Structures are given as C-alpha cells and as structure tokens.
C-alpha cells in the first residue's frame, strides 16, 4: 500500500480542540490506524450487508478477469472507508495508491497519479467531493474509457492527445455524497453507504485492538467503551488507548467496566459519547434559541467551531442519536436532548421562553 498524500460559555477552551471523540483523521493517528487496520474481510468487523455485497462483486470481477467497477463509499468519518479499500485491494490481489482530493490541486497531480497506475491497480481518493473542476474533468475519460485527454497549444493550434491508461479501479470516499457533482457520481458503478456500528460490533473492534496493543480488557470494559464511542471505530480505538493509560497509571493496567467509566468521565465523554462541543451545541440551541430552529452559521460562530466540522463531524452522530433535527429553517434539538442534558421536561422548558 503506498500513501501518496497525503469568553463565551459556548466557546471551546484550548484543550477541547481536536478532542478524542471527533472522528476526523489527524496526522498523529495515521500510523496507529495503519497498524491496527484489518486486512481481510474476516478480520473486518461490522458493515455486514456491505461486506457481503462487496465479496460477491469481487468474486464476479475475478471470474470475469476484469477490474472491479469504480466504487464510491460515503458516510460519516471514522467508519472505515479507507480500511475497506485496503481490504478490497488485498482480496483482489491488487496494489492500492491512496491520496485525497485536497492533494490533487494542480492538473499535474492527478495526471501524475493516473500515469503511474499499473493494470488492475486501485486508486483511492479520499474526500472526493473536494476535487476541483479541472481534476474532475481529467478523471471523467480516465474512469470511463481509461484514457487521458491532454490538450496542447493555444486557440487555433490546439491539439488533443489521447493517452491510453491501464485499466484501474477508482475507489472514492466522501462524508458528503450530496456535495459530489452529478457527472462524477454517475461514473461510479457501485455506490455504498457505511453505517454507524452497533455497541456489540464496537466491543469486538475494541477487543481486537486491545489484543494487538497487548492491553488487558474484559467484555464489560469493552462494552463500556463501545457505548461511548459514537458508533465509530476510529473513536473506539482512540478511547481504548486513553482508557488503557488511565488503567495503567491509576490501577493495575486491566480495563474493567468500572475503570473504563471512570476514565471516560474524566475525559468528559458522557453516556452517549457526547463531548463538550456536542453538549455546548445542544445547550446553545436550547438556552439561546428556545430549542431552534437556528442556522448552522449562527451555531458555528457562537461555539467557535467551523461549519464544516459541525456538519461533517458533530452532526451526523447527533442526528443519528435523535438529539438534533435538521429542518429547512435550521437546526432544532429534539425532546430527548432536553432530558439527556438534565433540563426539566421539554414542555416545561418550552414555556420558559
């Protein structure tokens, strides 16, 4: 696998930036993630319907001796899109080149990668919704006809040069399927959504990771971490390390339910996996905007976060957990958010304003 590229109550304090509960990748995590990534469908936990569909697609493509159709994975960050691309490559016996759209800024970046591909190779482009127009247009004929259409010269002397490319498979990943241009989306033969993981699946991920890292953990300890991992393996894996630090310093190193709960309380991660940013966002809407609806820009400014992080990282889980709702007029908290944050009954709260 080659990696090419790679004084307002509601404002964050310095330590809260980059919290352990946010599923975007940070540079520091990459090595750790690469060490524990499952390499086969057997060791990849969760996403069972998707895994089954992919295994059939792979089998069929091997029988036909043709490369796999281009694939698009979408869903919130941290659910294993890159990992799955690696598993597919392994299963196909193919090489994989990994890059992300922001690293393909200039035409020569995408041309260089396409020209370096070998037959049957997989090209993985993360955050593919962020590809610029020029890169997208270079990609269309490459995806469709495995050619690069290059133009040389100016106005009247302009010439088009068609360069054949080896047959390859593009795997695109995005947290925002809706932000992908129609023509690009239409060029993917297979489009799959990754789902949040169940508590049981996350507990299995946690046990597997603990095994690799030589961390002792019992089943209840794994479930205690799983419950607060926002349905996201990347967060679960980070929490295992943090809880293990606590277990080692304060106890005998073994993670039990009690130890996990103590460590997670210290990290201010609550029973639903919410951190200070999530709670501040919900509190803001309840206390200042009577439960909403309120625009995303207003929320972002008030809590000192950028809109993209709120939309891509915080919101998917708050929506899935049923704490937040998206309406055409902005974001609204749902009645269960009042109870979760310790406000009196939703209806009592509504009459306060």
DSSP string of 195-243, one letter each residue: PPPPHHHHHHHHHHHHHHTT--B-HHHHHHHHHTSTT-HHHHHHHHHHH
Determine if 83 is a binding residue for ligand ADE (CB under 6 A): yes
196 is a site residue for ligand ADE (CB under 6 A): no
d(CA 239, CA 335): 29
Closest contact distance (angstroms) between CB of 350 and ligand ADE is 41
Q: Give 312's contacts (C-beta < 8 A, 6+ positions apart).
A: 24, 76, 77, 175, 176
Contact, 75 vs 194, CB < 8 A? yes
Site for ligand ADE in 23-52 (CB under 6 A): 36, 38, 44-46
Clarify whether 175 is annotated catalytic. yes
Report, in Å, the least distance between residue 68 CB and ligand ADE.
Answer: 20
Q: At closest approach, how far in Å is the CB of 78 from ligand ADE?
A: 8
> Please, which residue, 172 or 233, has the CB nearer to ligand ADE?
233
**Judged by CB, which is closer to ligand ADE: 44, or 73?**
44
* 70 in contact with ligand ADE (CB under 6 A): no
Rule CB under 6 A: say whether 208 interacts with ligand ADE.
yes
**Least distance to ligand ADE, CB of residue 1, Å:** 15
CA distances from 33 to 28, 68, 238 (A): 9, 26, 9
For 156, phi then psi, to 5°, come to -65, -25
Among 75, 80, 221, 292, binds ligand ADE (CB under 6 A): 80
Q: How far apart are CA 294 and CA 224, in angstroms?
A: 34
End-to-end CA distance of the chain: 57
Q: Are 232 and 23 in contact (CB under 8 A)?
A: yes
Is residue 22 a contact residue for ligand ADE (CB under 6 A)? no
The count of residues interacting with ligand ADE (CB under 6 A) is: 11
126 included as an active-site residue: yes
- Of the pair 51, 185, the CB lying nearest ligand ADE is at 51
The active-site residue, picked from 83, 169, 174, 175, is: 175
| Least gap, CB of 75 to ligand ADE (angstroms) | 12
What Å distances lie between residue 96 and 83, 88, 107, 113, CA to CA? 11, 9, 21, 12
Does residue 233 interact with ligand ADE by CB under 6 A? yes
* Contact indicator for 61, 89 with CB cutoff of 8 Å: no
Catalytic annotation on 82? yes
Positions annotated as catalytic residues are 81-82, 126, 175, 234
- Which residues would be at the binding site for ligand ADE (CB under 6 A)? 36, 38, 44-46, 80, 83, 205, 208, 233, 237
């Amino acid at each position: 696998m080659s990696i090419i590229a790679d004084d307002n109550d509601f404002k964050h304090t310095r330590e809260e930036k980059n919290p352990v509960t946010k599923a975007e990748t940070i540079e520091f995590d990459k090595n750790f993630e690469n060490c524990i990534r499952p390499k086969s469908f057997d060791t990849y936990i969760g996403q069972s319907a998707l895994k089954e569909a992919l295994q059939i697609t792979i089998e069929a493509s091997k029988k036909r001796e043709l490369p796999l159709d281009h694939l698009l994975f979408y869903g919130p960050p941290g659910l294993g899109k890159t990992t799955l691309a690696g598993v597919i490559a392994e299963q196909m016996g193919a090489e994989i080149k990994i890059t992300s759209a922001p690293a393909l800024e200039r035409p020569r970046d995408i041309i260089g990668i396409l020209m370096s591909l070998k037959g049957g190779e997989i090209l993985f482009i993360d955050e593919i919704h962020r590809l610029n127009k020029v890169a997208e247009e270079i990609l269309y004929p490459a995806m469709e006809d495995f050619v690069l259409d290059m133009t040389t010269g100016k106005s009247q002397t302009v010439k088009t040069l068609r360069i054949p490319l080896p047959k390859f498979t593009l795997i695109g990943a995005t947290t925002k399927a809706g932000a992908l241009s129609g023509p690009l989306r239409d060029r993917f033969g297979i489009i799959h959504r990754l789902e949040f993981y169940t508590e049981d699946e996350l507990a299995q991920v946690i046990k597997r990771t603990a095994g690799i890292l030589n961390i002792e953990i019992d089943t209840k300890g794994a479930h205690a971490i799983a419950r607060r991992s926002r349905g996201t393996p990347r967060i679960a894996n980070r929490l295992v390390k943090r809880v293990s630090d606590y277990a080692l310093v304060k106890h005998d190193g073994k993670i039990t339910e009690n130890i996990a709960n103590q460590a997670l309380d210290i990290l201010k991660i609550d029973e639903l996996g919410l951190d200070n940013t999530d709670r501040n966002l919900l509190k803001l809407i309840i206390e200042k905007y009577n439960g909403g609806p309120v625009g995303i820009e207003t929320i972002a400014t008030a809590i000192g976060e950028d809109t993209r992080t709120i939309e891509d990282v915080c919101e998917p889980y708050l929506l899935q957990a049923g704490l937040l709702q998206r309406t055409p007029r902005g974001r609204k908290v749902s009645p269960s958010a009042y109870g979760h944050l310790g406000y009196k009954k939703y209806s009592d709260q509504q009459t306060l304003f």
